[in-house]
Amino acid sequence: MNKIKHFLLLLAANLLPMATSAQVINGDMNHNTVLDVGDVTMVIDGYLTGTTEVVGPEVNHYYVDYNMLAGTWYRSKTDSFTLNTDGTTDYGKGYTYKFLPSQGCILFFNSAGRAATYLKVIFLPADKSYLVVKAPTASNVQTYYNQPIQPVESITLSQTSLALQLDSDPVRLTATVVPADADNTSYEWASSDESVVTVSSRGTVEAVGEGTATITCTALDGFGATATCEVTVGETTPTPQPSGTTTYTVNGVSFKMVSVSGGTFKMGSTDSDADPDEKPVHNVTLSDYQIGETEVTQALWQAVMGTNPSNWLGDNLPVEKVSWNDCQEFITKLNQATGKTFRLPTEAEWEFAARGGTKSQGYKYSGSNTLGDVAWYTDNSNSQTHVVATKQPNELGLYDMSGNVREWCQDWFGDYSSSAQSNPTGATSGSYRVIRGGCWIGTARGCRVTYRSNSTPTLASYYLGFRLAQ
């Protein structure tokens, strides 16, 4: 017995003229029970879902008593015809129509009121093609054309493995379908064990119990392309508690500053992937200071400035597209509103805090040697910023220092000195200000705690924000 997946057809575009005005219906047409009429052109564009029919040679594949076999239209297609208020259509003179959403077809009636014809697409998986057929009578089936199908050849996931804890925030997986112009690029998600992890229709993975499970993404075009992500869920990880946290509120918006105990550390790097400007490694001693628990959010910026320059909008997203000069204006107004002395961190303060201060475990990134645990960067960000503090914090309880947006520092950019320094403030002058930290578009190499960058104080980019210090 052969399995044939049947398609819906609305009308072949090359058979009917296009009209100038249109009403667009998208998506799951099997759930649309009413189509509006009124001298308009109905354009139906999208995929239709249905059931797979199993038929044998004794069953005609094209008609069963003028009732269409339910099926799935896998090829994205746009077809048009005019629906008139009197129930007629431009399909043919004297014809009326009836749309049968549950059957997946358009049925036409002649002037005598008898069902005259219908059109349908039948998917032929063995040939990777579909046929457009017209059945004017129960004994006469006409084939209009044969259209090749482009199947999904492979699927690539944004991550192939995940290590989560029970208290981890949900992680969004994204799928890339190859080729991008496949006739049906739709896919669905499934978890092999929903007592360990669940996955939403949008690929959001959430830990619910300890153990391992496999997330599978399957193409819906019937050709079997899949991709998997192996997930391990461990017990709840205690969140590091900072030695001291102070909450401030301005115009109804609160933010936290974390106390950093002073100490001496080796600033810079001699690793093989270090840039020349990360050398020489030198001793730096810092006094106590405070630094923002998170990057400055859009809510806080809006509360102080009354505007929001960001590309991606959301109260708890980091503010971006702000220049160093913009940050100075913000800080001036914030200090006026609070009576405090907030500022940008120095480059040395930023690196010491990113390393974990006196609680440092020597990680390559801020809080871990596994970048995906602590940072939104090019491999997991889906090319956008994310809500602050949704990744794991570092040893001091600071979030996003290796990802999300890069961060302005106070210093002019300059070369390192090999001599020991106390509370350094960078070069005395220059043309460029220091930028630190990784970002949503950055590579792993640029997310290291020692990585340095710089730009003119007027640059405002959608990958660039800041955090406060005092």
Q: Which stretches of the chain score pLDDT less than 50?
A: 1-80, 100-105, 121-123, 129-133, 136-146, 239-242
CA 265 to chain centre: 38
pLDDT in tens, 199-231: 999 999 999 999 999 999 998 877 789 999 999
User: What pLDDT does residue 252 have?
Assistant: 93
Strands of 406-412's sheet, edge to edge? 452-455, 433-436, 406-412, 464-465
pLDDT in tens, 123-134: 455 555 444 445
User: What pLDDT does residue 34 have?
Assistant: 34
**pTM, to two decimals:** 0.52
Q: Which residues of 247-282 are buried (b: 16+ CB within 10 A; e: fewer)?
A: ebeeeebebebbebeeeebebbbeeeebeeebeeeb
**How far is Cα 463 from Cα 330, in angstroms, rounded to an integer?**
18
**How far is Cα 442 from Cα 354, in angstroms, rounded to an integer?**
17
The closest alpha carbon to 217, from 187, 173, 174, belongs to: 187
3-state secondary structure of 310: coil
**How far is Cα 150 from Cα 181, in angstroms, rounded to an integer?**
8
Domains of the chain: 3-148 (no CATH), 154-234 (2.60.40.1080), 245-465 (3.90.1580.10)
The closest alpha carbon to 277, from 456, 453, 407, 77, belongs to: 453
User: What pLDDT does residue 454 have?
Assistant: 97
Tokens of 73: 């239209």
Write the CA distances from 303 to 251, 345, 427, integer angstroms.
Answer: 6, 21, 33
The closest alpha carbon to 371, from 428, 424, 439, belongs to: 439
